[in-house]
Structure 1
Amino acid sequence: MIFFFEVFLAFRLMLRAKLVWVAFGIVVVVLLATFLSSYFSGRQLATVALDVGVSTIRLLLPLLVVLLSQEVLFREFDKRYYLSSLAYPRARSALLLGRVLAMFIFIAVLLLVLGLLQGGLVRVIGGFYSQATSVALGKPYVIVLSFIALDLLVLVSLATLLAVVASTPSFILIGTLGFMLVARSYGSIVELLSREAGLVSNPEHYRTSLGGLGYLLPDLGALDVRMIALYGKMDFLPADWFWLLLSCLSYSFALLALSVWALQRKRLS
């Protein structure tokens, strides 16, 4: 019961911080980007629109994750709201996990809304011109959104850990976005160096150095499987997609466990 109370309290904090309006602004920006980008292609309007729309979603929703963690978690310790939150007998883990669940529900619902609105808009745009290869807005599109949701779950888990240990809100912003950039790009860089060895003077050294990140970071770049929806071919889905999902889920749960441990050891005065 206390756990669900924390979820309810977290939603109240989001409403008080007017993050719903931020989410509404993200919806407007994504739809505008999707619609306007279709004018940059003469023959594949729907494909370009969907491609740019997915890119905009993957760019803006992590920023919302940062804002949510700052408002729902960091301010709890920075403004000492825990003096009232923990005045009643409740575990610190319940407070933390309740807030995390509320953040992910908020992000997941927004992603669902964006997916439905963007899918409808792409269908309308696709009706203006018949493409040789139409976009797949059925099961492939659902898979794309599901992989994006997992990407965001990892970022929510990391932002939670940073909110517990950080002393300034800017550290959450820099840490989360820096982690996102590295985790989404290092796999592509390693693959590029494997195909184009002449790009750098010592490609083997770079591949070894960047490959070591695979033991520390999840490959969030591999979760971008938009190609199966853009071209309607499941062949673009990674062959090791199951292990990819399992590794990202495990990494997320490990970050949450570390966050609970850090909060249990955090001295609240």
Structure 2
Amino acid sequence: MRLAFKANFAWMAIGVALVVALAMVLSAYFSGRQPATVALDIGFSAIRLLLPLLIVLLVQELLSRELDTRYYLNSLSYPRARSRLLLGRFAAVLALVLGVLLAVGLLQVVLIGIIGGAYSQATPVAMGQPYLITIAFMMVDLLVLVVLATLLAVVASSPSFVLIGTFGFMLIARSYASIIELLSHDSGLVGNAEGYRAKLGVLGYLLPNLGALDIRMFALYGKPEFFPSDWFWLLLSNFSYALALLALAVWALQRKRLA
């Protein structure tokens, strides 16, 4: 935690909150009939883009730079296991990121209350239980990304690979299921759509479906049909994937040669 705050974590968190708030307020002015819905939608998009960047910066500071500057020679001089060092840094990053998510989520509630009070919509956003469930699903999404960034920090030889690998993984895991569904409904988008869809389907065995964790429509409209019916298996698969990656990161650190 001390390392994170020395790395200006507080300013980074404030910056995330300001960008989300500014995006929500400005987007509300561009919607004539549903300003609260548009503002909340844009706010969710900003959070899902900025918090992974915050994850990368924290992991680079707490793990990658420690391995690069050989500060682990001091950290591991105490009678503690390597796994304890890794799990401690992982827990710190996860706690800080989820704390920022909760703080920004509370800020969203305040801003939506102000925007909704200025203009009454015909279909108000659901800021109660649907909103809390949406934030909970977003936490699972961030958990997987924190674990992946931790693994990359252990196995990668360059801190920049943590950024490239985490964002590349995020883009693919969040989009491949939507592309498969799109090709199922409109096979004329690309040539040989069946073969293309079959190749993308292989990713379902290798990557979690992070796109399915984005259930913002449930909070935007509050209708139960927007809530995934297979929510239990969706959460279980993502938790299992995160646990497997974390175990792999611990194993990789145990096997890593520290000169």
TM over 0.5: yes
- 1:127, distance to aligned residue in structure 2 (A): 1.1
Mapped pair 1:141 → 2:118: no
Post-superposition offset of 1:85:
0.4
1:222-261 residue pairs with structure 2 within 5 A? 222-261=212-251
2:67 match? 77
Shift of 1:244: 0.4
Matches within 5 A, 1:46-57: 46-57=36-47
Structure 1 residue aligned with 2:150: 160
Q: d(CA) in 2 for partners of 1:241 and 1:205?
A: 29
**Residues 2-17 of structure 1 correspond to what in structure 2 (within 5 A)?**
11-17=1-7
1:26 & 1:106 partners in 2: Cα distance? 13
Match of 2:127, SS state, is coil
What is the CA distance between 1:200 and its match in structure 2? 1.3
Pair 1:113 & 2:91 matched: no
- Which amino acid is 2:82 matched to? R
Give distance in 2, aligned partners of 1:172 and 1:262: 15
Q: Normalising to structure 2: TM-score of the pair?
A: 0.99
C-alpha deviations, 1:173-201, integer Å up to 9, x for none?
00000000000000000000001111112
SS of the residue 2:118 aligns to: coil
**Residue number in structure 2 paired with 1:97:** 87
Counterpart position of 1:201: 191
Q: Which amino acid aligns with 2:190?
A: V
Residue of structure 2 in register with 1:63 after alignment: 53
Could you tell me how far apart the structure 2 residues matched to 1:43 and 1:222 are? Answer: 28
Question: Which residue of 1 is the match for residue 258 of structure 2?
Answer: 268
Match of 1:212 among 191, 202, 212: 202
Q: What residue in structure 2 maps to residue 173 of structure 1?
A: 163
Residue type of the partner of 2:116?
G
Unaligned runs of 5+ in 2: none
- Match of residue 188, structure 1, among 178, 194, 197: 178
Q: Which residue of 2 aligns with 1:5?
A: none
Offset at 1:224? 0.3
Q: TM-score, normalised by structure 1?
A: 0.95
Number of the residue aligned with 1:44: 34
Residue type at the aligned position of 2:157: S
Whole-angstrom CA distance in 2 between matches of 1:201 and 1:164: 40
Cα separation, 1, equivalents of 2:36 and 2:237:
33
Residue segments in structure 1 that go unaligned for 5+ positions in a row: 1-10
Tell me the residue number matched to 1:6: none
Q: Spell out, residue by residue over 1:3-52, the C-alpha distance to the aligned partner (whole angstroms, 9 max, x if none).
A: xxxxxxxx110111112111110100000101110011100010000000
| Counterpart AA for 1:144 | T
The share of aligned pairs that are identical, in percent, is 67
Residue by residue, what CA displacement relative to the aligned partner does 1:193-227 show, whole Å, maximum 9, x if unpaired? 00111111211001100011000000000000000
SS, match of residue 198 in structure 1 = coil
Q: Deviations over 1:84-120 (max 9, x none)?
A: 1010110100000011001000001100000001111
Structure 1 residue 235: Cα displacement: 1.2
Cα RMSD for the two superposed structures: 0.6
Aligned counterpart for 2:8 among listed residues 18, 29, 35: 18
Q: Write the deviation string for residues 40-82 of structure 1: whole angstroms up to 9, x where unpaired.
A: 1100010000000000000000000000110001111111111
Aligned mates of 1:166, 1:202 — CA distance in 2 = 36
